[in-house]
Amino acid sequence: MQATSGTSASNAADTHDRLFMTLAEELKSPLMRIARQSELLALGNECAADLRSVRMNADMTLRLLDSYLLSLRLAREPDTLFAVQPVSVGAVLHEAQGRLTDVAREYDVELGLDIGGRYEPVMANDQALTTALVTLGYSLIEALPAMGTQQLRLQLAAHRTKYGIVAGMYCDADMLTPATLRRAHNLRGHARQPFVDVLPGSGAGVFVADAILKAMSSRLRVGRYQRLPGFAVTLSPSQQLQLV
């Protein structure tokens, strides 16, 4: 029994170490942008757009750190800290779209939102679900120009399947498949670029979003919406409210 709990504690520590390594690698990018943009501003090329970009990069860094900390706290004390309750997927996607708008503009990425119909509430933690989707969105928006896709568009969408309500973010990235995600999970923390065909960085945003969702007993998976591949999470409808 002791050996089993020792092994599981060691696996958990390894998972955390690997997540931390992807995060540390990822944080270099916004910090580099801030450092170089500040240098440029100091050279006298000051304009409102540059200052706004510096501030936005600093905000992105802080939000990624906050999301990472949230994933750690959720993993340690899921029940005491974050209650799962009926949540509207449409409202969460709408909120995520609002929070991603400025970053999307900076990267010339068009954001789309398609909620499609009326869905019953799902069982989730509102704050955690929103944070996971926003973190994932940042990661994809940053990566879209580097993918060489036909159109710089990120589609936020919800749809119903027999397994539940699916909330996801989709883009014109044909190389994104379930195998890509599986391989990236294995390479996480070991390779500098685990999503080699999809994301130029360490993919920390994807892994942090997955860690948050995992604490709510969901997982990020690769899915398709209107033929566009993307990352999605399937959420269980609230049975209680269905009866009402």
Partner 1 sequence: MANILLIEPDRVLARTYGSALERAGHKVQAATTAQSALQLADEVCPEVVLLELQLVAHGGVEFLYEFRSYADWQSIPIAIVSNVPPAEFNQSVGVLRERLGVVAYCYKPQTNLQHLQRAVEDALARQPRLAA
Q: Is 57 in the site for partner 1 (CB under 8 A)?
A: yes
CB 193 within 8 A of CB 185: no
Q: What is the DSSP string of 166-191?
A: EEEEE-S-TT--HHHHHHHHHHTTTS
> Could you give the CA distance from residue 234 to residue 178 in angstroms, rounded to a whole number?
15
In the complex with partner 1, the residue whose CB is nearer, 25 or 234, is 25
Among 106, 160, 164, 221, binds partner 1 (CB under 8 A): 106
In the complex with partner 1, the residue whose CB is nearer, 50 or 120, is 50
Q: Which of 63, 64, 82, 86 is nearest to 73 (CA)?
A: 82
Contact region for partner 1 (CB under 8 A) — 81-89, 111-119, 198-206, 218-226?
198-206
Q: Which of 144, 128, 155, 130 is nearest to 217 (CA)?
A: 128
Torsional class of 32: left (φ above 0), alpha (ψ -120 to 50), beta (otherwise): alpha
Q: Is 172 in the site for partner 1 (CB under 8 A)?
A: no
Contact region for partner 1 (CB under 8 A) — 3-11, 177-185, 190-198, 207-215?
190-198
Among 39, 46, 66, 114, binds partner 1 (CB under 8 A): 39
> Could you give the CA distance from residue 74 to residue 80 in angstroms, rounded to a whole number?
9
Q: Is 35 in the site for partner 1 (CB under 8 A)?
A: yes
Q: Is 198 in the site for partner 1 (CB under 8 A)?
A: yes
Please state the closest distance from residue 54 (CB atom) to partner 1, in A: 10
Please state the closest distance from residue 148 (CB atom) to partner 1, in A: 4
What's the maximum distance between 2 C-alpha atoms anywhere in the chain? Answer: 65
DSSP 109: P
Q: Is 193 in the site for partner 1 (CB under 8 A)?
A: yes
CB 96 within 8 A of CB 212: no
204-243: contacts with partner 1 (CB under 8 A): none
Among 17, 108, 110, 114, binds partner 1 (CB under 8 A): 108
Residue whose entry in the numeric block shows the structure tokens 């005491």: 80
Interface with partner 1: number of residues (CB under 8 A): 32
Q: Is 17 in the site for partner 1 (CB under 8 A)?
A: no
Q: Point out which residues bind partner 1 (CB under 8 A).
A: 28-29, 31-33, 35-37, 39-40, 43, 45, 53, 57, 106-108, 142-143, 145-148, 175, 192-193, 196-201
